[in-house]
Amino acid sequence: MRIFDYNKLAKRSWDNEIIGLVAQIHEYKGRQELYLKQKPAELDRLIEIAKVQSTEASNEIEGIRTTNTRLLQLVKDKTTPRNRDEEEIMGYRDVLNTIHENFEYIPITSNYIIQLHRDLYKYSHKSIGGTFKNSQNYISATDANGREIVLFTPLPPYETPTAIEAICDSYNRIIATQDIDALLLIPVFIHDFLCIHPFNDGNGRMSRLLTTLLLYRSGFVIGRYISLESKIAKNKNIYYDALEQCQKGWERGRRRS
């Protein structure tokens, strides 16, 4: 069983560029309250735009899509889903709204992650929402010859519940002591979540929803006004390349910066 202990991160030597970026983000966070008090009507409009963009981009990454007109109708709850893709878009919209409106009251625990995953599939006829995977999954790619190759093998199903509890427990302990900056800890948590790959489906979308939740809970609420998911979608190749590089040695407890 892999051991998850984020205390070890405090002893790491971090790249100067990363530390510089973290410091810069904190500087902008300090100005955040001033910005939020200016032109509240415009900020409300940005929130609605960001919700649409986030719902579209995060699902698009997974090949889940609909027309722009239908997307707006679904996000604004002015229609009902017509197919599987629209069912999952509606589920993402609901979970995103839950995080926007209640992030202070959503603890980082295995049970709450399962509840969010259940809501992700609330409109779906699939019976996978709200339960951990029951079969081994793989992270694969197609090579130049059209052959599918396995890039990474996540944890087996029997280790998954304990692993998710472990990363949540370790995260909560460190975030409480503030021994590690949240902007360093959050990506590590999300990477571990993706390497565990705890669900039969929806892991990528859940990782992006959890990123938003963790950032909000640490006071970084920029995702309310600018879609973080659309930024990831625009840099999808870099995003997946970074994940692939970081996964190397993960099963042996090694981390790449």
3-state helix, strand, coil in the chain (%, to 5): 65, 5, 30
- How far lies 209's CA from each of 96, 223, 228, in Å? 7, 11, 10
pLDDT, tens digit only, all 257 positions of the chain:
678 999 999 888 898 999 999 999 988 887 777 777 777 778 888 999 999 999 999 999 999 999 999 999 999 999 999 999 999 999 999 999 999 999 999 999 999 999 999 999 999 988 899 999 999 999 887 777 788 888 899 999 999 999 999 999 999 999 999 999 999 999 999 999 999 999 999 999 999 999 999 999 999 998 999 999 999 999 988 988 888 888 888 877 666 54
- Confirm if 177 and 60 have CB atoms less than 8 A apart: no
- Confirm if 142 and 148 have CB atoms less than 8 A apart: yes
Please give the residue range of the domain that contains residue 221. 6-252
- Domain membership of residue 214 (yes or no) is yes
- The string of DSSP codes covering 161-187 is HHHHHHHHHHHHHHHHHT-S-HHHHHH
- Domain membership of residue 205 (yes or no) is yes
Environment class of 237 (CB within 10 Å of its CB; exposed 0-12, middle 13-18, buried 19+): exposed
pLDDT number for residue 1: 66
pLDDT number for residue 147: 85
pLDDT number for residue 165: 98
pLDDT number for residue 254: 61
- Domain membership of residue 109 (yes or no) is yes
pLDDT number for residue 257: 47
Torsional sign, CA 247, 250, 254, 255 = positive
**Residue ranges with strand state E in 64-176:** 139-142, 148-152
The domain that holds 213 is classified in CATH as 1.10.3290.10
For the chain, the first-to-last Cα distance in angstroms comes to 23
Environment class of 199 (CB within 10 Å of its CB; exposed 0-12, middle 13-18, buried 19+): buried
Placement of tokens 């996978």 in the chain: 128
Whole-number Å distance between alpha carbons of 185 and 5: 11
- Domain membership of residue 206 (yes or no) is yes
Task: Give this prediction's pTM.
Answer: 0.93
- Domain membership of residue 257 (yes or no) is no
- Domain membership of residue 54 (yes or no) is yes
pLDDT number for residue 255: 60
- Domain membership of residue 215 (yes or no) is yes
Overall domain count for the chain: 1
- Domain membership of residue 1 (yes or no) is no
The first and second tokens of residue 116, run together, are 């969010």
- How far lies 176's CA from each of 14, 215, 218, in Å? 21, 14, 11
